[in-house]
Amino acid sequence: MTNQRQVILEEVKNLGSHPTADEIYERVRKRLPRISMGTVYRNLDTLASCGFISKLEPGQSQMRFDGKTNDHYHITCMRCGCIEDAPIAPLQDSLANLENALGNLTKHGIFGHKLEFIGLCSSCRKEDKKNSRAIANHSNEKKKSI
């Protein structure tokens, strides 16, 4: 493994918060000031395809990376796209049953599943509260002026 790749891997593991490629690049650049964004991208791809990190593709937002490669579920914020680890163990038994059932019901060989929880993260919920308070204040003012 090249030194660059080693540094990138370390930063992904250290960040531990499902960073985007940009966030990883910012951190890596502090240690390797001459590295380019393209090099970081390419190395992230290689690290992901070799199974050192996982690549998360939450659909609506930027691609993110995960230094944890063990089986775990994620909660994605539907507003800002941040990703947190879901504090529950993978549902081995019930989902293994489901996988078997699917395998029997269809002509597909089933090799696994993806399960993603969708929610609103704590900072987005705070924003929501602020906004709804602002709306409430606004409508109060209106009432007063009438």
Helix or strand holding residue 57 (H, E): none
Of the candidates 10, 15, 52, 85, which one interacts with Zn ion according to CB under 5 A?
85
Nearer Cβ to Zn ion (80/101)? 80
The one-character DSSP state at 51 is T
The minimum distance between CB 84 and Zn ion, in angstroms, equals 8
Q: How many chain residues bind Zn ion (CB under 5 A)?
A: 8
Can you say how many angstroms the Cα of residue 20 is from the centroid of all Cα atoms in its chain? 8
Provide the 8-state DSSP code for 33.
Answer: T
**Member of 80, 88, 95, 136 binding Zn ion (CB under 5 A):** 80
Rg value, the chain, Cα:
21
Nearer to Zn ion, 15 or 35 (CB): 15
What is the C-alpha separation between 47 and 49, in angstroms, rounded? 6
121 contacts Zn ion (rule: CB under 5 A): yes
| Binding piece for Zn ion, criterion CB under 5 A, among 8-16, 22-30, 36-44, 76-84 | 76-84
Quick one: how many helices (H) and strands (E) in the chain? Answer: 5, 5
Q: How far is the CB of 23 from Zn ion (least distance, A)?
A: 14
Residue positions counted in the chain:
146
Residues near Zn ion, by CB under 5 A: 66, 68, 77, 79-80, 85, 121, 124
